[in-house]
Amino acid sequence: MSSQTGTPTFVDRYPEEASVVRQAFLVSFVALGLGALFGIIQALHRTNVLRLIDSADYYTVLTAHGVLLVIVFTIFFLVGLYQWAITRSLDRPAENITFTRAWLGLMSLGSVLTGGTILLGFVDEIGISADVLFTFYAPLQAHPLFYTGLAVFLIGTWLAGVDWFRSYLAWRGDNPGERIPLQTFMVLTTMVMWYIATIGVAISVLFFLLPWSLGLIDTVNPLLTRTLFWFFGHPVVYFWLLPAYLLWYTVLPKIAGGRLFSDPLARVVFVLFVLLSTPVGIHHQYLDPGIAEGFKFIAMTNTMFLLLPSLLTAFTVVASMEHGARQRGGTGLFGWLKALPWRDPAFTGMALAGLMFAAGGFSGMINAGMNINYLVHNTLWVPGHFHLTVGTAVALTMMAGTYWLWPQLTNRPLYSRPIALAQVVIWFGGMGLMSNAMHVSGLFGIPRRTAEPQYEGFDFATSFGSVSELNLQLAIGGSLLFVSTVLFLGNLALSMGTPTRDGLGQTLPPALSGPTDSPAVLDNLRLWTVIALVLVVLAYALPLGSIVAESGLFGSGGNPYPVVIEPLVGWIDPGAVIEIFHDLLEVLP
Ligand code: HEM
Ligand SMILES: [Cu+2]
């Protein structure tokens, strides 16, 4: 225990909440380590530099890489960060810490079930596997434990949201009429978005994929489950991104030496994500037959609107950094850049992450264009894009944020700041190479998701490099990323052994333009939720209705009725049941 000489740290003030945050981070970082290991294996394998696995196991590796990194690493970090943010910004402990521990436990159980089922795929003798990639499209089928784990994990995240809303309501009771603190606002809006988004994946898993894998129903409608997946699959990218935004808006200005430029703009950005993040999912299905072009066009238009919050963020965050730099004595049109704390790994990590996010935004615009998407669809371009966004803007910000937050959760200083600084720079360089190679390879038509791209020796005389050169670039970049991950985890592990110290507490300064400069309607969460739901219905009712009307809830070609009622056939007339079903569907457009 440290005596309270300077600013008390988070762990001084809220020891139990701090332990929950640490546990969530721990799970997150274990997943990061494993995910990076699988990442380097597949990067070296598909570029034919080093083959440690059999190509037949490639999908086990790739599924583990995807699920561990974009479900476990990112989301456990999110819940840890949000628990910290809500406790800190409301300045009150969790309403019931046992409940808090329970949802973290559920999430962990779900992750172990899902992750374990994937990893069992390496042991053929057991006969359990889930090589379905993180998108788990039917007709690929996983063992029921994979879907069960997902469901348990999801329930855990829902309860986390309940916990945070409870804290907020309790605070509201004590502080009527006050503006919601910014970090709490960010947590709550993210969760509103999450509740809406997860409706899609919950229906897909609980009503179709899980019963199907258990043999309770014979078939599923792949287009329907895909569409439900992407109903969730686009907003989930903001579930990864918004914790990074929270750090950029509320922590980065402070470590840059200044204050957030505008609190109201930050609120507008989060509200825009609540409204716009779900009715765009069909932009992942531009090439799916069975969805009319018009619906795809609407999704594209909505997607382009989503550029707005990202541009607002770029403006606000850079303005805050400039303010910080000028506070530190920076001058000139660009000269202030030199005054930023580039030796601070937390700052440099977040700044480099933001820079890569801008590049990811550009390649994202290519993906989002209906026509130009055909050029890059399912090529290596796509992983090239999202290793810039979730793989760097999010992942590197989370690592950098950890450097800032960890001492306040443990009262132990970081083991080595120079190693941390090298780590974030190596990540940036490694990703520059890997992502560049992936983008260019994609333009050459090299597919993603394959152990055997078979372009070896094929020279493209008209372009800069050959495919072999791109492969080498990808392999070197991937190796640097792996080294960077090891440095991050090693530094953190060693930090657990540094002696405890006083004075590691940090405060966050208020924004230059505070919450009261914005209209109160911004805090009206009910209003935004209702509008978001209306937009979702507008975007999805017709496409989903037509998918079901055309090929049925369970697809065509299988048993016309669920396997569960098979024994009842003879007692009841399945034809009559189906009639009723059809009549019901008739009402849909
Ligand atoms: C050590 C660093 C990493 C390396 C070397 C690496 C490498 C790769 C490679 C080569 C692929 C493409 C495989 C293929 O399509 O055949 C891939 C896919 C992927 N990576 Fe990474 N990656 C790393 C870190 C990350 C991070 C930090 C994230 C997210 C937080 C991430 C998320 C993904 C996802 C979601 C896929 C797609 C999986 C799929 O197609 O189902 N990766 N990675
Ligand atoms: Cu998307």
481 lines ligand 1 (CB under 6 A): yes
For 101-115, the pLDDT digits (tens) are 999 999 999 999 999
Catalytic residues: 234, 238, 385-387, 448-449
Residues near 28 by Cβ (< 8 Å), separated by ≥ 6?
72, 73, 74, 76, 77, 80, 398
Residues near 127 by Cβ (< 8 Å), separated by ≥ 6?
none
Nearest CA owner, ligand 1 atom 33: 66
Whether the CB-CB separation of 103 and 159 falls below 8 Å is answered with yes
Decide which of 567 and 38 is more confident.
38
Mean pLDDT in residue range 387-405: 98
Number of the ligand closest to the Cα of 278: 2
Residues near 281 by Cβ (< 8 Å), separated by ≥ 6?
200, 227, 230, 231, 232, 233, 234, 235, 299
CA distance 152 to 168: 25
133 lines ligand 1 (CB under 6 A): yes
Token pair, residue 571, equals 């007692």
Q: Which atom of ligand 1 is nearest to the CA of 32?
A: 27
392 lines ligand 1 (CB under 6 A): no
- Which candidate, 303, 340, 308, places its Cα nearest to that of 325? 340
For 329-352, the pLDDT digits (tens) are 999 999 999 999 999 999 999 999
Instruction: Find the 440 Cα to ligand 1 centroid distance in Å.
Output: 16
Check residue 454 and give its pLDDT: 74
Whether the CB-CB separation of 145 and 179 falls below 8 Å is answered with no
Whether the CB-CB separation of 60 and 122 falls below 8 Å is answered with yes
Q: Is the pLDDT of residue 219 over 60?
A: yes
- Which candidate, 134, 229, 249, places its Cα nearest to that of 189? 249
Map 83-128 to HEC letters.
HHHHHHHHCCCCCCHHHHHHHHHHHHHHHHHHHHHHHHCCCHHHCC
For 23-37, the pLDDT digits (tens) are 999 999 999 999 999
Q: Which atom of ligand 1 is nearest to the CA of 40?
A: 5
CA distance 12 to 335: 39
CA distance 190 to 82: 10
Residues having C-beta closer than 5 Å to ion ligand 2: 234
Angle (deg, nearest 10), helices 525-551 and 222-233:
160
CA distance 403 to 422: 13
Check residue 579 and give its pLDDT: 76
Q: Which atom of ligand 1 is nearest to the CA of 392?
A: 27
Q: Which helix (DSSP H) or strand (DSSP E) does residue 253 occupy? A: helix 252-255
C-alpha triplet 106, 112, 116: angle, nearest 5° = 155
Mean pLDDT in residue range 379-394: 97
Q: Is the pLDDT of residue 504 over 60?
A: yes
Query: For the chain, first and last CA: distance in Å?
Result: 65
Check residue 457 and give its pLDDT: 59
Q: Which of 372-386, 512-526, 574-588 has the lowest mean pLDDT?
A: 574-588
Helix/strand/coil for 518? coil
CA distance 117 to 251: 38
Check residue 582 and give its pLDDT: 73
Helix/strand/coil for 449? coil
- Which candidate, 220, 160, 230, 147, places its Cα nearest to that of 190? 160
Nearest CA owner, ligand 1 atom 8: 39
489 lines ligand 1 (CB under 6 A): no
Q: Which atom of ligand 1 is nearest to the CA of 37?
A: 1
Tell which one of 53, 65, 118, 470 to mutate to probe ligand 1, the residue whose CB is within 8 A of the most ligand atoms.
65
548 lines ligand 1 (CB under 6 A): no
Mean pLDDT of the chain: 93
For 409-439, the pLDDT digits (tens) are 999 999 999 999 999 999 999 999 999 999 9
Instruction: Find the 479 Cα to ligand 2 centroid distance in Å.
Output: 28
Q: Residue 580 — very low, low, confident or very high, per pLDDT cuts 50/70/90?
A: confident
Instruction: Find the 451 Cα to ligand 1 centroid distance in Å.
Output: 13
Nearest CA owner, ligand 1 atom 34: 66
